[in-house]
Amino acid sequence: MPFTANRQFKQAPRMLVSASGMYYRTDDGRRVLDGTAGLWCVNAGHCRPEIVKAIQAQAAEMDYAPAFQMGHPGAFDFASQLTALLPAGLDHVFFTNSGSESVDTALKVALAYHRARGEGQRTRFIGRERGYHGVGFGGISVGGIVTNRKAFGAMLPGVDHLPHTHDRSRQAFSIGQPEWGAHLADELERIVALHDASTIAAVIVEPVACSTGVLVPPKGYLERLRAICDKHGLLLIFDEVITGFGRLGTPFATDYFGVVPDIITAAKGLTNATVPMGAVFFQKKIYDAFMTGAEHMIELFHGYTYSGHPLAAAAGLATLKLYKDEGLLTRAADLNAYWAAAVHSLKDARHVVDIRNLGLIGAIELDPLPGQPTKRAFSTFLKCFEKGVLIRTTGDIIALSPPLIVETAQIDQIVETIREALTGLD
């Protein structure tokens, strides 16, 4: 099973058999409040009838259309509606099937873009420590979570990493963006000096590093990264697989921070997780660089059998309509103050050493059990599940990201359940 303690799970399986709105139902009939939007992805809540009906109708009309040398209206309609949500210039889409594929696509296109412009020597990538960019070889190469890398060999050559942005001694219990740390972006200048800008293709970061335990960027940090990339001709890639589609109270993190990258990767909330799908958004200059040569020739030798799958496109169109009709892409902004206060109310809870938040994302960092890293957080996860709340843990950090339809009473339930679970832990 993926990212699972397989032996522990099989001794005491946690089986989910149905879902609706904010809740899962287990095989023993218990209702479990979803504090994690599945895996950061069910932004509109579970089994929404509007999305279900769209998938059913598409399956009956056309189940599949070949993605190579052919198209179907749903994919183009979806692409047009998606780019309308993005800042001007990010107006081209490449469809994938997951966040991992979106990242590998972004990296490949970045390399090919520089080659098309006559700068094929730009082959290096700069990622960031503690970054998560999926599980493909490209993603784990630019990623910076050691457990995701150490068993899989040398990975891609020519990759360097920025330092991560979290320093608990200076940022502990920050509400929203920390004041300290913008200068950490200047490490990119050191890396550029080491390798020379002419060898570097792109820098990839998550605007908020979520999977590692919610590391919120310091004020001014992303702006500084953008300026340095512009100075040296480097592409800036935002991995918005999690932050896209309303998680911060804006359609994308690029809107929240006011920093526009050259490429954005997306997935998860793209279809409300009902049908697997990812997307990569590109600045027009990147698309145009490939549109040369004989018109009958393929411009980009890359793609997937299921790129722009009809069922996924139908699910995505229905999801976007639901987001619009219910104001879900901005709802987190309305809930932000309540959410921040609720999550930070755990500051005095047992074992808590830090709390971080932004939009409808939260992290509660725990003091690890001596000699047993991750055990305390995992025990909290099990206790919360027993008490009817689903949380997520990464290391000794509890990560929270409820569906965007969450109500304040449900926020209270999530927080109080965590408090009760921590009270009973060694």
pLDDT class of 401 with cuts at 50, 70, 90: very high
Question: For the residues 102-123, what does the mean pLDDT come to?
Answer: 98
Of 250, 175, 254, which Cα lies nearest the Cα of 207? Answer: 254
pLDDT > 90: percent of the chain: 99
Residue 211 corresponds to which amino acid?
S
* Domain regions of the chain by residue span: 6-49+327-423, 52-326
Residues 254 and 160: their CA atoms lie apart, in Å, by 24
Q: pLDDT, tens digit, for every residue of 38-85?
A: 999 999 999 999 999 999 999 999 999 999 999 999 999 999 999 999
| Residues contacting 235, CB < 8 A, separation 6+ | 110, 113, 201, 202, 203, 229, 261, 262, 263, 286
Question: For the residues 91-112, what does the mean pLDDT come to?
Answer: 98
Beta bridge partners of 25: 18, 31
Q: Does domain 6-49+327-423 have CATH number 3.90.1150.10?
A: yes
- Per-residue pLDDT at 386 exceeds 90: yes
pLDDT class of 358 with cuts at 50, 70, 90: very high
State whether residue 165 is helix, strand or coil.
Answer: coil
Determine the pLDDT at residue 154.
92
If 0-12 CB within 10 Å is exposed, 13-18 middle and 19+ buried, where does residue 118 land?
exposed
Determine the pLDDT at residue 426.
83
> Could you tell me how many residues make up the chain?
426
Average pLDDT, the chain: 98
State whether residue 203 is helix, strand or coil.
Answer: strand
Question: For the residues 346-368, what does the mean pLDDT come to?
Answer: 98
Overall pTM > 0.85: yes
Q: What is the DSSP letter of 218?
A: P
pLDDT class of 197 with cuts at 50, 70, 90: very high
CATH C-level class of 52-326: alpha beta
